[in-house]
Structure 1
Amino acid sequence: MAPTATAPRHAGTDVGPDATAVAPGSPQSSAGASADMAQPIPERWDGLDTTILGDLARRGLMSTLDTIKEAKTLMLDPSLAGPLGLVADVSGLKQHGVEKMFWLEPASAAFVSKTDTAHSQALSKAGLKSVNAPTKSVVYICRPEIKWMKAIAGMREDLERQQLTLLPRRHDYVPKEHLRADRSVRPTSPLQHTYTISFVPHRTEPCLQFLDQEGVLSDVSLLDFGLEFVPLDHDLVSLEDDAAWKKIYCDGDHTPIFRSAQALMTLQHAYGLFPRVLGKGALARRLADLLIRQRREHLASDPSNPALTTPSQLVDSLIIIDRSVDYATPLCTQLTYEGLVDEVVGISNGHVEVDPALLTGQAQPPGGGMGAQPHASGSGTPLQMTSTPKKRKHRLDASTDVLFGEIRDLNFAVVGDRLHRAAKRLNHDYEGRHQAKTVSQIRAFVGKLGGLQSEHASLRLHTGLTEKIMEWTAREEFNRMLEVQQNSVAGLELGAQYAAIEDMINEERDLLGVLRLLCLTSVVGHGSAAGGIKPKNLEFVKREILQTYGYQHLPLLLALQKVGLLTRAAPGAAEAGGGAVAQKEALLDAGRAASTALRPGGRSVKPRAHPIVGWRGFEDVVGQLPGPTFDEVQSGAAGPGGSDTSTTGAAATMPSDADQVTTTLVFFLGGVTHTELAALRFMNGQTRNRRFVVATTNTINGNELIRSLSSVPL
């Protein structure tokens, strides 16, 4: 198949005001279009206002569309539907001239270059479909990837071939008698399409070279849409770049680091200069240096900019965490409710795909029938009925779903009890209708009915998700994997853990789970800073995996070694492991004591926020982790040739008012897990005047890390 533009739903239909996402089939919410927009900050949240970033992203998108004045057809990269759906809706796009939208799909067969001698015949054999763009202007919004450049080049040529078959070219001689005999070749108003490519976040040289090679570059207009942080929650903003970790740590492409620095620079423009930048890891150090350099470049062009010369009164510190410093956390199974939803069902762009019955309360009609959704396989293709029930995407939002906000960060073991109590409370509220005797009492109950119905829908959804999770956690395989994970992290009988993994391989258990356990034992192996598995054991396990699951997974094993998830232990690491394992056990004991002392039901007193003291007092523990540590204090403009950073103590970040609420921004380079978010939210609840906001390249889990390295489905 040659490149085509198709829409999984509503292909070739006008954009209606009832649509709830930025493109057909993109993340939808049962609450309507407003649920996909920037959410209001909860009343109890007194930290950083992240809705500003959603407004910036929305204005950037609309400004890009407004550069094309006439009506336009939008061809959208599917990976951008989720992020854009969080900041814009279809009705807003329609107001800015978008009449129809289609998916941008890569070629399903080898791309046919213009340099091929049998170019036209090959295009015909490839089955190139019609784009059916009804407007003169065609706008592509996509990431700067070669597969999309191939799609754009193929679709543009398809449109041009359609026009040439309708209207003879001027230099072609057509006898008059032929024109009189067949006037159907003379259209009344043939469309002469114009093409615009909007790169997200910016164009790249390889894409420009490819377009030039295919003869397309001179016929298209190029724009850059710098989509940066998208707010997923009031305390979470993300670049939503799912390929960031693979690009950085496997491909050696540091473009996501540069993009992260630009996004953090935007935060400084919005909230003021970060007084302090500290972090852990080699690439975190690189990001900090790039951020400081960009600030100096901005100061050179605008030395009086107060946002870059005056320390922020809202943000006291920026902490940058290199994902390679801690691979153990994403490799372990997440045991919070939201984490398990991500592990079992999957959370993408803040949305989860569920059966429609969980949202509507109505069972899906069997065998398709009237309840089956029509599916359009391509533009101009007849609608076909499918018997497979389609899942719907629902926004998980704690600001509109109170129950989700209560259980999202809880250990899954206590979620069932919380749902039971919520069901009893809801049933009691419904029973209140029997006590409504007078007109005023009935009116009061009717006023509460809408809220009760929303709570009922939320309870139905989370009960259904909990049942799906329990089906997974009740399996013997899950409990075996969890036991190996906990023993490996605690440093207990590592030899026995290798034997358990070998047994799983012999039993042909899920390869993804086996690799996840193997990588975890490698990361924490022998307790050394570098980790690793004994070379003899590693080679044996690799050979067993290839012989059991197939040699098509050899590139995956090599990639895991390249990124440091599967490594050989250094000589002598076994002797040095005892002290490091003791360090881990001490940290686990300290964590248990802290969780007991700060239990939500306890009588602990919330301490006042204090300046972050950096790494002082924790040098031995931090030294066990790979990568350097750094701590920079940013001062005002120092002028040309001067220094605007220093490595002084934390006094520079001390707020003048002891009761002033400040925010610490924590940036995860390479992704953050939902359990890490839960831990930082727990810290939010333990300090009186310090709040933590998380910024990240994307949200991750162990399965996604390993899948991103595989060239075959897992």
Structure 2
Amino acid sequence: MDVSKKLTSLQEISKAQLSKILSANPNTKYLILEPEIIRPLEKVCGVKWLKGNGVEKIFKLDSTAPTFSATAVYYMIYANTKVFTKVVDQIRSQVDIENPVRNKFHIIVVPQILHYFEQLLEELGLLHSAITLHRFQWMPLHLDTNVLTLEIPNLFNNLFVCQNLTYLPVLSRILWQIGFVVGKPTFILTLGNYSNSLLKQYDMMCEDNGETDKFDSDFGGLVIIDRTMDYASSLLTPGTYSALLNEVYNVNVGVCENTEESDQQYDSKCNPVTKKKIINFPLDSVQDSVYADIKNRYFTEVTTVLSNLTKQLKSEKLSSEDMALDEIKRYVQTQLQVTKTRKKNITNHLNAAESIIQKLGHRYENQREVEGNIIKNSNKSRNFSYLEEILVTENDPYTSLRLLCLISITQTLSDSEIQSFRRKYLQQFGYKNGYTFHNLVTCGFISEPAQSTSKLPTKILKFPKFNSKNFYTNAKNIKQIINEPEKVNLKYPTCASYVFGGLYIPLIVQIAGMILSATPLDDIKLKLEPLGPLTLRNDRGFPLQSRSLLIYVIGGVTYAEIAACNLLETITGAKICILSDKIISGNDLMRSVLKFPS
């Protein structure tokens, strides 16, 4: 079976695991879902499948629970202490503690049962007697061609900000399970603290629980990399259509949706609010041929393509007016529905493109100029002035913080510059965000103050602190920075840097390129070791026996990186599959560091 078909069929394994949990009570049952879990669950199974497995009714988790009567009840939630406590309170209100009904209430926790959950139920006397806990992690969800995500929320915040290692075994278990489907690659490269820890846990899991007996792997190599190894690829403003969609609409589980326009005309600082068009479509090349054509195009080309497609539709309409009766009948039977669907898709993408222009157009050129200066290591004073300017003009807590991080990991900022920005940022967005700058230090975005008087807890891990010398030395050594970006062809790209307007090539693309071109391992080691902890494992698998790679990014991957990998596939004829906990944008990282630890 082709590896792409294997990846799309992973949901069958998830269904089998979920079916086993639901069969713990063979009677008809109610299923109550945390709202955030509904969309990823739709990728695993549909309502019809759930009803076939005994689910009579499905509810959203609300402040008040429905009347359960004698029906079995299953809750499905993410591993969140507040949500779990809410669910337990709902169950307690309907349970006779002295004489509980066994096997009635079940809580399915995704992806991992926390120790606190069991401890709380033990203290309340509900564990096993009234409530049964189940751990469930679906297999990677197939969002688009060779794009897989685990849809684990807040993993970057938990792992890199709070340094909570709870989810690390989940990530290694997923890798172990995938091995039984696609085999174990004989060449493995890991880069980063957590990536190396994940590989060690994976080895232990193989040793304790056994591993696949597949002789040949569907992937010639496996690359596991921490998000911290290439922050720039998530902080730079992308130029491709799919990446800009995620910037403006916050794509959720591969679906771009905005159901209603806001009536708000001005924000809290009296700035005009840009309204986004109402749209709803999946970012799936198979379902949407229009998206397949434009998803990886540089945005300036997208409107031209959509304009041409609109003209084609108009010509089709004119030609249909001159059809004979038999031709009209055949057209209605074979082409009309396809044309309607195509018209709907084109309309969606035109509306989305218009929203992107309205949302980002007013600052896109200035932003790109400043980011170009940053990557070329020039005009530091101009870059910092622009940073302070958008802090005031853009009433958005993510935009200025994101640019601060980009400048800090490249050109570096002095303590006085960071403190000046910190003071202005807190004045602009509130002192409730004071903890944010400690989080930025923890993640390695900014350097720790020279004389810190902070009484905050010491960090568990010290991530590499990027400074200007290291960033530019490493990026030039790996050939990520383009000397003449203006010569990069954005219309018909041959260089992966086009995803950032010709400025910068994502690290995962350069690593994949080195592996696929059979660069000597000593050279790969020499180039990558300065970035962070590196492991190269070659069980006679290098040069690759098959020109295919599985790239596993811990902490989120961006649509720009995916587009760059797609271009590398086209150029080299290789197959690259991207797996991550979530598809993110730079704003998602900023959202993570703005969260107060819970």
TM-score tier after normalising by the smaller chain length: 0.7 to 0.9
Question: 1:51 deviation in Å?
Answer: 1.4
Shift in CA distance, 394/565, structure 1 to aligned 2, threshold 3 Å? same
Secondary structure at 1:667's aligned position in 2?
strand
Q: Is the Cα contact below 8 Å between 1:57 and 1:228 reproduced in 2?
A: yes
> What is residue 177 of structure 2 aligned with on the other side?
266
Shift in CA distance, 316/592, structure 1 to aligned 2, threshold 3 Å? farther
Secondary structure at 1:587's aligned position in 2?
coil
Question: 1:556 deviation in Å?
Answer: 1.3
Question: Is 1:482 paired with 2:358?
Answer: no
Mark the structure with the bigger radius of gyration: 1
Q: What amino acid maps onto 1:250 in structure 2?
A: V
Q: Is the Cα contact below 8 Å between 1:246 and 1:708 reproduced in 2?
A: yes
Question: 1:64 deviation in Å?
Answer: 1.8
Distance in 1 between residues matched to 2:481 and 2:394, nearest whole Å: 35
Q: Aligned ranges for residues 270-419 of structure 1 at < 5 Å?
A: 270-299=181-210, 306-307=213-214, 310-312=215-217, 314-355=218-259, 393-419=280-306
Distance in 2 between residues matched to 1:341 and 1:633, nearest whole Å: 39
> What is residue 665 of structure 1 aligned with on the other side?
550
Give the superposed CA RMSD. Answer: 3.5
Distance in 1 between residues matched to 2:353 and 2:335, nearest whole Å: 27
Shift in CA distance, 59/581, structure 1 to aligned 2, threshold 3 Å? closer
Question: Is 1:90 paired with 2:47?
Answer: yes
Shift in CA distance, 614/666, structure 1 to aligned 2, threshold 3 Å? farther
Alignment partner for residue 334 of structure 2, among 447, 471, 487? 447
Distance in 2 between residues matched to 1:319 and 1:523, nearest whole Å: 24
> What is residue 432 of structure 1 aligned with on the other side?
319
Question: Is 1:79 paired with 2:36?
Answer: yes
Q: What amino acid maps onto 2:81 in structure 1?
A: I
Shift in CA distance, 615/520, structure 1 to aligned 2, threshold 3 Å? farther
> What is residue 441 of structure 2 aligned with on the other side?
561
What number of residue pairs does the alignment pair up?
Answer: 551
Secondary structure at 2:6's aligned position in 1?
coil
Secondary structure at 1:306's aligned position in 2?
coil
Question: 1:706 deviation in Å?
Answer: 1.1
What are the Cα deviations for residues 115-135 of structure 1, in whole angstroms up to 9, with x where unaligned? xxxxxxxxxxxxxx4532255
Q: Is the Cα contact below 8 Å between 2:3 and 2:182 reproduced in 1?
A: no
Secondary structure at 1:470's aligned position in 2?
helix
Distance in 1 between residues matched to 2:299 and 2:126, nearest whole Å: 54
Q: For structure 1, which runs of at least 5 residues remain unmatched after alignment?
A: 1-40, 108-128, 171-189, 358-363, 367-388, 526-531, 602-606, 635-647, 656-661
Q: What amino acid maps onto 1:326 in structure 2?
A: D
Alignment partner for residue 569 of structure 2, among 684, 687, 693? 684
Q: What amino acid maps onto 2:562 in structure 1?
A: L
Distance in 2 between residues matched to 1:508 and 1:409, nearest whole Å: 28
Alignment partner for residue 423 of structure 1, among 310, 332, 348? 310
Q: Is the Cα contact below 8 Å between 1:272 and 1:311 reproduced in 2?
A: yes
Q: Is the Cα contact below 8 Å between 1:281 and 1:325 reproduced in 2?
A: yes
Secondary structure at 1:133's aligned position in 2?
coil
Question: 1:569 deviation in Å?
Answer: 9.2
Distance in 2 between residues matched to 1:546 and 1:390, nearest whole Å: 32
What are the Cα deviations for residues 431-450 of structure 1, in whole angstroms up to 9, with x where unaligned? 22134225256424542111
Q: Is the Cα contact below 8 Å between 1:598 and 1:686 reproduced in 2?
A: no
Shift in CA distance, 416/700, structure 1 to aligned 2, threshold 3 Å? same
> What is residue 18 of structure 1 aligned with on the other side?
none
Distance in 2 between residues matched to 1:669 and 1:94, nearest whole Å: 35
Shift in CA distance, 194/592, structure 1 to aligned 2, threshold 3 Å? same
Distance in 1 between residues matched to 2:466 and 2:80, nearest whole Å: 45
Shift in CA distance, 632/480, structure 1 to aligned 2, threshold 3 Å? same
Distance in 2 between residues matched to 1:576 and 1:697, nearest whole Å: 28
What are the Cα deviations for residues 30-77 of structure 1, in whole angstroms up to 9, with x where unaligned? xxxxxxxxxxx9xxx975631121211122222322221111111212
Q: What amino acid maps onto 2:175 in structure 1?
A: L
Q: Is the Cα contact below 8 Å between 2:139 and 2:150 reproduced in 1?
A: yes
Alignment partner for residue 545 of structure 2, among 654, 664, 674? 654
Secondary structure at 1:511's aligned position in 2?
coil
Secondary structure at 2:93's aligned position in 1?
helix
> What is residue 552 of structure 1 aligned with on the other side?
432
Question: 1:222 deviation in Å?
Answer: 2.5
More displaced stretch, 546-555 vs 419-428: 546-555
Distance in 1 between residues matched to 2:431 and 2:260, nearest whole Å: 40
Q: Is the Cα contact below 8 Å between 2:257 and 2:278 reproduced in 1?
A: yes
More displaced stretch, 419-428 vs 499-508: 499-508
Question: 1:673 deviation in Å?
Answer: 0.2
Q: Aligned ranges for residues 579-658 of structure 1 at < 5 Å?
A: 587-589=481-483, 599=493, 610=516, 612-613=518-519, 616-617=522-523, 621-623=527-529, 626-634=531-539, 650-651=542-543, 653-655=544-546
Shift in CA distance, 701/597, structure 1 to aligned 2, threshold 3 Å? closer
Q: Is the Cα contact below 8 Å between 2:257 and 2:280 reproduced in 1?
A: yes
Distance in 2 between residues matched to 1:69 and 1:61, nearest whole Å: 13
Distance in 1 between residues matched to 2:551 and 2:350, nearest whole Å: 32
Q: Is the Cα contact below 8 Å between 1:280 and 1:628 reproduced in 2?
A: yes
Secondary structure at 2:58's aligned position in 1?
strand
Distance in 1 between residues matched to 2:168 and 2:340, nearest whole Å: 45
Distance in 2 between residues matched to 1:77 and 1:586, nearest whole Å: 42
Q: What amino acid maps onto 1:559 in structure 2?
A: N
What are the Cα deviations for residues 601-621 of structure 1, in whole angstroms up to 9, with x where unaligned? 9xxxxx9x9564365445665
Secondary structure at 2:481's aligned position in 1?
helix
Distance in 1 between residues matched to 2:471 and 2:164, nearest whole Å: 34
Distance in 2 between residues matched to 1:620 and 1:225, nearest whole Å: 41
> What is residue 517 of structure 1 aligned with on the other side?
403
Q: For structure 2, which runs of at least 5 residues remain unmatched after alignment?
A: 264-275, 451-464, 496-512
> What is residue 272 of structure 2 aligned with on the other side?
none
Q: What amino acid maps onto 2:553 in structure 1?
A: F
> What is residue 707 of structure 1 aligned with on the other side?
591
Normalising by structure 2, report the TM-score.
0.83
Shift in CA distance, 506/76, structure 1 to aligned 2, threshold 3 Å? closer
Shift in CA distance, 591/664, structure 1 to aligned 2, threshold 3 Å? farther
Q: Is the Cα contact below 8 Å between 1:143 and 1:200 reproduced in 2?
A: yes
Distance in 2 between residues matched to 1:390 and 1:77, nearest whole Å: 27
> What is residue 698 of structure 1 aligned with on the other side?
582
Question: 1:457 deviation in Å?
Answer: 0.6
> What is residue 208 of structure 1 aligned with on the other side?
118
Question: 1:490 deviation in Å?
Answer: 2.2
Question: 1:600 deviation in Å?
Answer: 6.9
> What is residue 160 of structure 1 aligned with on the other side?
95
What are the Cα deviations for residues 329-358 of structure 1, in whole angstroms up to 9, with x where unaligned? 11112221111111111100011223479x
Q: What amino acid maps onto 2:559 in structure 1?
A: H
Q: Aligned ranges for residues 189-200 of structure 1 at < 5 Å?
A: 194-200=104-110
Distance in 2 between residues matched to 1:293 and 1:335, nearest whole Å: 41
Q: Is the Cα contact below 8 Å between 1:77 and 1:103 reproduced in 2?
A: yes
Q: What amino acid maps onto 1:501 in structure 2?
A: L
Normalising by structure 1, report the TM-score.
0.70
More displaced stretch, 490-499 vs 408-417: 490-499
Shift in CA distance, 621/545, structure 1 to aligned 2, threshold 3 Å? same
Q: What amino acid maps onto 1:208 in structure 2?
A: E
Q: Aligned ranges for residues 453-532 of structure 1 at < 5 Å?
A: 453-475=340-362, 477-505=363-391, 507=393, 509-525=395-411, 532=412
What are the Cα deviations for residues 117-170 of structure 1, in whole angstroms up to 9, with x where unaligned? xxxxxxxxxxxx453225521111223332233112211122237xx9xxxx99
Question: Is 1:248 paired with 2:154?
Answer: no
Question: 1:290 deviation in Å?
Answer: 1.9
Distance in 2 between residues matched to 1:406 and 1:503, nearest whole Å: 37
Distance in 2 between residues matched to 1:392 and 1:579, nearest whole Å: 43
Q: Is the Cα contact below 8 Å between 2:77 and 2:84 reproduced in 1?
A: no
What are the Cα deviations for residues 310-334 of structure 1, in whole angstroms up to 9, with x where unaligned? 241x211001111100111111122
Q: What amino acid maps onto 1:327 in structure 2?
A: Y
Secondary structure at 1:399's aligned position in 2?
coil
